[in-house]
Amino acid sequence: MSTNQQRREAAKRKLERQQARRAQRSARRKKVAATTAGAIVIALVAVVVVACAVNSSPSSPAPPPPPQAAGGRCAYQATPDEPAAKPVSVPTDLNPPADGTVQATMTTSQGVLPITLNRAEAPCTVASFVHLAQAGYFNNTPCHRLVTEGSLKVLQCGDPSGTGSGGPGYTIPDEKPTTLKPGQQGASVYPRGVLAMANTGQPNSGGSQFFLVYADSQLPPDYTVFGTVSEPGIKVLEKVAAAGDDGSLDSSAGGGKPKLPTSIQSVSVAG
């Protein structure tokens, strides 16, 4: 039989062994926890590094910023609320030549109109007209308005819709004429053979519509003059004017559709 002393010593050794095992288990748990935490941190760092590497990779570049509009003499303005009557782009050359002339040929259903475009007088307007002509914008489009009354003698064209309200989807800066002779009551004389831009009456509102003057006319000097029609072309205009208009336009200037239907078949530009 064990004595009481022996039993106490045995119980003490058993307790010490239990405490040692608990300490070992606690140390292992702490080591595992520390190892796991370290692994999580390493993994997170790796994810960030990989993400940064993907975002900065040459094979996956960030989208470039939108191009900035270049400055220039010709501030063509897009008109999103008034889209082009016929698909065409806005001119991109904002600094076209400002000297010399350009020869163009307007072939209509009533005859051919040789035209000289004057860059020195209106470089932005000439550049726009050439741009539209080369894009085929004027091809197979009607001349929708003829005025034969009073002091205004013009044939107006350049609107593919034929309504008088269509344009190219952009506007042209005004280039007001400086060489016109004064007319009556503050008007100026737009001489026979002049090619000029139509507008809405507001500043910088010209687009694709233009008018061809077949006899001296009086208008405010607010319409850009950008070319002239040669004598054979004026004869074609006089033939259209002689047939008269249908008076269908209810406006202070009068006029209407030409009774002799006239459409532009093509406009070619030399050079």
C-alpha pair distances (Å), 132 with each of 64, 138, 149, 265, 267: 30, 7, 30, 14, 9
pLDDT at 14 over 60: no
User: Which carries the bigger pLDDT value, residue 28 or residue 247?
Assistant: 247
Residue 62 has pLDDT above 80, yes or no: no
- Banded model confidence at residue 150, pLDDT cuts 50, 70, 90: confident
Task: Give the list of residues 6+ apart from residue 176 with CB closer than 8 angstroms, or none.
Answer: 221, 222, 224
Cβ atoms 159, 257 nearer than 8 A: no
**Contact criterion met (CB below 8 Å) for 154 and 211:** yes
Residue 235 contacts by C-beta under 8 Å, 6 or more apart in sequence?
111
Confidence of residue 107 (pLDDT cuts 50, 70, 90): very high
Q: What predicted TM-score, i.e. pTM, was given to this entire model?
A: 0.74
pLDDT of residue 70: 46
Averaged pLDDT score across all residues of the chain: 82
SS3 141: strand
| 18 has a pLDDT exceeding 70 | no
Which pLDDT score is estimated for 254? 77
Q: Report yes or no: 159 and 138 within 8 Å, Cβ to Cβ.
A: no
Burial 121-158 (b: 16+ CB within 10 A, else e): bbbbbbbbbbbbbeeebbeebbbbbbbbeebbbbbbbb
Neighbouring C-alpha atoms within 13 Å toward the C-beta of 115: 32
pLDDT of 59 over the 50 cut: no
Residue 76 and residue 94 in contact, taking contact as beta carbons nearer than 8 Å: yes
Q: Alpha helix (H) ranges present in the chain?
A: 4-55, 123-134, 231-242
3-state SS assignment for residue 257 = coil
pLDDT class of 42 with cuts at 50, 70, 90: very low
End-to-end CA distance of the chain: 129
pLDDT, tens digit, for every residue of 181-227?
A: 999 988 999 999 999 999 999 999 999 999 999 999 999 999 999 99
pLDDT band for position 149 (cuts 50, 70, 90): confident
Select from 117, 105, 106 the least CA-distant residue to 140. Answer: 106
